[in-house]
Chains A and B, each alone.
Chain A
């Protein structure tokens, strides 16, 4: 009999949503269990990293890796699994582009430690203790991983073969991808390395709202208004990221009258999601007067970085070199 292909699933700095999403493929999980020999899947299976370390390089066929890289242990696991896997997949927004926890790059380690352990209103820490990677307890030395200054994507740490977008990826897409991989291992052609396994258009394509030419006099914040349920949310003034966000979710958020927040990242071939949002929104501002334009932008979009780079700051072209102002401009 031929051995089943080996599958590994791993989570680094992530929230577990990707794991829940994988479980959310429901009974199909059994098919996955049947099709693969699962060598590592922390949330559901007891398997040993030793065994993974002992394996010959390249002996894992596919590794779905979710979570970004934020401490020394995660970096090690990324390196280990890269080495052991034929195909390494950056699975979900964190591994793909950094996701919301990537906004931590606006602050950096020192700022985080100082607030969390010293300044937070509930903390009681007269001696101002902060956690140490290496601590001499009376009984001996204790180690915890080194907390990094910067959140990085998986492909900023090791080379990645494919990407699966989404925070988290939709169960339907996950199953489709697993099937594609199975087919691929069976000799079916796989997409070129570096491909993001998702649709190559944006959420508007799946959104049922009616769209017209756009002219925007003012950007509204979600708490300010109740949009109607039939027209394009952007045309109603809400900063909906759907126009720049990769399709594949079925426009779930606009369906419940909430603007898309961009969790599937940018469309195929786009290097910087925020730039796409900035340029498209700015282009349709209905004013030619610099002062008025500035007012419309500042009033309607008080937090441009958080709005345009909500999910992609680590992957974006923005570099913390610009953080002279501590990530808080005006």
Chain B
């Protein structure tokens, strides 16, 4: 029995390690995708005052703190049985839309995008944000940096800090916005829509016009027929901030639609002894291991799965992009993992349109942005769509609002099983007779990156990454061969 260790995988937000075992014939016998850490927020948050949760859980993930901030704030609303006034809801969703646009931009241009923009075969040393800047030139780079800068700037203006906000409270937010700020938010929002359209066009030009890329996207290597999860509004259109959770089966038929507070009826988490991360799955279907199909409880919660789980998008331009997306890829549902990059850009457009919608809502500057709770707190669940998947916070407190129990199911965790499967599948497809090629390594990575996995969230920790390296070991674990990327 031979083993290949990929330790660790690079350019994901979080640390992962893959061990691939080969049988005597050198074919893949099994692959283990391991997450090496955990921080235990669920445990040490117990004993804290619940209203501190938006600030505490910000620190679960510095990549998407706003997502935790929102999920926590919504959990507090439920906990204290308080209705957020319309202005409060809109302010929250506005800030959240700005965050979504910013985060998707970061991923497409800094993390996932490089594979397409500078190309999968380019030396790894160039497959990074700096490489992208070299390739697309300063003017485009300028657009990207401006988009990120504007996003951060507005988040800081509204919610105190560009990373780790301090804003959400049970019943609303700590402060609203004035007309002056609204104008600025609107103006930058319109720029953002332009940027989103530009990015989609860039994707068409660079990727869709390149047959090799399209084949790669649609090829079997990265396909997984799993359930798809996403949050939808009353009309079954994607919403990031609020709504019902809808799950469709591999054929695109609605499997379940439930209120976030009922998540325990739908989801369960499986534990393996070789990783610190748990594997969520659909309770009704059950845990069948790392396999595709209707009979496996494995599901995805990604930009792609959100589009699959919805009937459309609530803004005009985004709806067009949505239609184009499915037309090009041959109808719903789409299971091509790499298409997630495109789906992400469609969501980027939706987020920017929603941003302007809310920024131009007459109620957005209302001083009535918060309701002070009067009920006795007991239990509450808060769910939002994080960029990397459905995020759920579940709290219980005593009558003083001191936490007695905390449970978190975070974005990337939902996708742990699919990611593991993608890695295994890529390995199976590409490794034969114990032969490993440099191409394999990047292929595996690309499948991996499509999920924009953030194991900071997943493990509530973000340990370091090191460049990927593969060691081919013999039955006794001696190293037969070593391959590393970017040997250039």
On chain B, the residues within 8 Å of A112 by CB distance are 38, 40, 43-44
Q: Which residue in B40, B127, B162, B171 is a CB contact (below 8 Å) of A46? A: B127
Chain B CB within 8 A of A289 CB: no
**Distance of A149 Cα from B170 Cα, bound (Å):** 33
On chain A, the residues within 8 Å of B11 by CB distance are 43, 46
Chain A CB within 8 A of B128 CB: yes
**Distance of A283 Cα from B325 Cα, bound (Å):** 64
- Chain A residues 100-158 with CB under 8 Å of chain B are 100-101, 103-107, 111-112, 115-117, 120-125, 129-132, 135, 137-142, 144-145, 147
On chain A, the residues within 8 Å of B158 by CB distance are 256
**Distance of A73 Cα from B272 Cα, bound (Å):** 21
In the complex the two chains form, is B156's CB within 8 Å of A252's CB?
yes
Chain A CB within 8 A of B86 CB: no
How large, as a class, is the contact surface on chain B?
Answer: 35 or more
A168 to chain B minimum Cβ distance, whole angstroms, is: 5
B18 to chain A minimum Cβ distance, whole angstroms, is: 11
Chain B residue nearest in CB terms to A141: B477
Chain A CB within 8 A of B130 CB: yes
Stretch from A185-193, A201-209, A218-226 that touches the partner: A218-226
Given contacts A15-B65, A44-B128, contact A253 B166 (CB under 8 A): yes
Stretch from B27-35, B194-202, B300-308, B358-366 that touches the partner: B27-35
On chain B, the residues within 8 Å of A234 by CB distance are none
On chain A, the residues within 8 Å of B17 by CB distance are 144
Chain B proximity mask over A286-330: 1 for CB below 8 Å, otherwise 0 = 000000000000000011011100100000000000000001100
Given contacts A130-B271, A222-B169, A223-B51, contact A67 B463 (CB under 8 A): yes
In the complex the two chains form, is A24's CB within 8 Å of B464's CB?
no
Residues of A in contact, count (CB < 8 Å): 93
In the complex the two chains form, is B271's CB within 8 Å of A135's CB?
no
Chain A CB within 8 A of B42 CB: yes
Given contacts A17-B62, A129-B272, contact A42 B10 (CB under 8 A): yes
Chain B proximity mask over A235-256: 1 for CB below 8 Å, otherwise 0 = 0000000000000010011011
Chain A residue nearest in CB terms to B456: A16
In the complex the two chains form, is B267's CB within 8 Å of A306's CB?
no
In the complex the two chains form, is B51's CB within 8 Å of A221's CB?
yes
On chain A, the residues within 8 Å of B477 by CB distance are 140-141
In the complex the two chains form, is B130's CB within 8 Å of A23's CB?
no
On chain A, the residues within 8 Å of B152 by CB distance are 24
Chain B CB within 8 A of A70 CB: yes
**Distance of A310 Cα from B45 Cα, bound (Å):** 11
Given contacts A42-B464, A144-B36, contact A16 B47 (CB under 8 A): no
In the complex the two chains form, is B462's CB within 8 Å of A11's CB?
yes
Q: Which residue in B3, B263, B372 is a CB contact (below 8 Å) of A223? A: B372
A149 to chain B minimum Cβ distance, whole angstroms, is: 11
Chain A CB within 8 A of B56 CB: yes
Chain A CB within 8 A of B117 CB: no
Chain B CB within 8 A of A47 CB: yes
**Distance of A309 Cα from B124 Cα, bound (Å):** 43
Chain A CB within 8 A of B237 CB: no
Chain A proximity mask over B358-391: 1 for CB below 8 Å, otherwise 0 = 0000000000001011000000000000000000
Chain A CB within 8 A of B341 CB: no
In the complex the two chains form, is A130's CB within 8 Å of B273's CB?
yes
- Chain A residues 251-282 with CB under 8 Å of chain B are 252-253, 255-258, 261, 263
**Distance of A14 Cα from B61 Cα, bound (Å):** 8
In the complex the two chains form, is B48's CB within 8 Å of A306's CB?
yes
In the complex the two chains form, is B19's CB within 8 Å of A142's CB?
yes
**Distance of A194 Cα from B326 Cα, bound (Å):** 58
Interchain residue pairs with CB less than 8 A apart (25): A11-B462, A15-B62, A15-B462, A16-B63, A17-B164, A24-B149, A24-B162, A30-B130, A30-B133, A46-B10, A70-B37, A100-B56, A101-B460, A112-B38, A115-B40, A116-B278, A131-B38, A131-B275, A132-B274, A137-B274, A139-B1, A257-B174, A261-B55, A310-B56, A327-B47
The 6 residue pairs across chains A and B that have the minimum distance between CB atoms:
A17-B62, A112-B40, A139-B21, A15-B62, A42-B465, A124-B268
8 more A-B residue pairs beyond the given contacts A26-B145, A141-B477, A222-B174, with a C-beta to C-beta distance below 8 A: A104-B40, A122-B263, A131-B275, A140-B1, A249-B161, A256-B167, A302-B49, A310-B55
